[in-house]
Amino acid sequence: MRIKAALLDQSGGHALPYDETQPLRIADLELDPPRPGELLVRIDAASLCHSDLSVVNGDRVRPMPMALGHEATGIVEALGSPEDAEFAVGDRVILAFLPACGECSRCKGGEPYMCGAGAAANGEGRLLNGGCRLHDGAHDVHHHLGISAFASHAVVDRRSAVKVDHDLPPEIAALFGCAVLTGAGAVFNSAAVRAGETVIIYGLGGVGLSALLAARAIGTSTLVAIDPSAEKRDIAAGLGAIALSPLEAPKALPALFPDGGADVVLETVGRAAVLTTAYQAARRGGRVCTVGLPNPAERFDIPAISLVAEGKTLIGSYMGSAIPARDIPRYIALWKEGRMPVEKLLTSVNKLTDINILMDALEQGQAIRQVMIP
């Protein structure tokens, strides 16, 4: 079938603003029918994440051309396996950006977020069962993280989809697929934050604010959120955090944390220098959890002795150490109870054709989550 999708022909080398250089173009592509174990999904909301920007600017190297987008929700329109016991035509699904094979040692060990087959498929820009279902004339178009959701339709592996309640507003549902899964998962799963602990969060994008929502839901004591953007700090303050700029933080933190630092520090910016600062902000014996994706060339520099002498734990959190089919319904339940107001992440609802302008806003730190309706 013919679909519309936001296509990236070249990663890196596009000057700013993207509104002028237009790195993404809305293309008419050919989408194959779903193969066994796959779903055809009509996308009804997809949001722009910093990881999309990282493919556009070349920080994340991916095969080109690629149809971008990995944080989305939609309705199942066709099944590759008609006898599918879990999914039916008409189901609402939220898409998760790492399909887990279910067969490897990590999947069987309860760590599907470390699935090697899923990571390899994502790195090669293909679906988990192999190959591309998207074509531009005679050329294959690569899938972004098994999804390619900035599009009218997507064919995904069923292991990329989580069935959820039909009544969720699409523009909210989309956010659970990456921002919430990653940010809340870092707090609930990776760092395993407990009620009453003190927490600092560096970076208030979609992932950082989701981490903040999770920390509030758990019931932390002192909760500090740090970001250069005054607008994002206002949102964090509205959610009950002590919001500081990076310039204010060095002076303010010692008085807020008489133990010499926080129990848990989360780094969601994706810069090694911020991770160094975050590491120093943890108390002796504290936990430092990093969620951001720095450019692969960046190196993280700490005194090696400090891990032992200060008893700190450094935790890398990929996809919030999530089991999507378990965690997404849990986070939705917290949202429905009003305990995790995910709607605070939603900056705007837009048309797919605005995507280059929206990337400029994200690049300039002016937006948290900008949802597009294809």
206 vs 286, beta carbon nearer Zn ion: 206
Q: How far is the CB of 313 from Zn ion (least distance, A)?
A: 25
Q: How far is the CB of 302 from Zn ion (least distance, A)?
A: 27
The residues of the shown chain that bind Zn ion, judged by CB under 5 A, are 49, 51, 100-101, 104, 107, 115, 117, 178
76 vs 179, beta carbon nearer Zn ion: 179
Q: How far is the CB of 81 from Zn ion (least distance, A)?
A: 19
104 vs 249, beta carbon nearer Zn ion: 104
| Sheet order of strands, 223-226 included | 242-244, 223-226, 199-202, 262-267, 282-290, 313-316
Write down the residue that tokens 């006898």 correspond to. 83
Burial per residue of 99-112, b for 16 or more beta-carbon CB atoms within 10 angstroms, e otherwise: bbbeebebbeeeeb
Q: How far is the CB of 1 from Zn ion (least distance, A)?
A: 26
**What's the count of helices (H) and strands (E) in the chain, helices before strands?**
13, 18
Burial per residue of 255-279, b for 16 or more beta-carbon CB atoms within 10 angstroms, e otherwise: ebbeeebbbbbbbbbbbbebbebbb
Distance of CA 126 to the CA centre of its chain: 19
115 vs 239, beta carbon nearer Zn ion: 115
Q: How far is the CB of 71 from Zn ion (least distance, A)?
A: 5
53 vs 275, beta carbon nearer Zn ion: 53
Q: How far is the CB of 368 from Zn ion (least distance, A)?
A: 12
49 vs 281, beta carbon nearer Zn ion: 49
| Interacting residues of 34 by C-beta distance below 8 A, sequence separation 6+ | 40, 78, 79, 80, 133, 155
Q: Cα–Cα distances in Å, from 181 out to 221, 288, 330?
A: 23, 19, 10
Distance of CA 6 to the CA centre of its chain: 18
Question: SS3 of 26, please?
Answer: strand
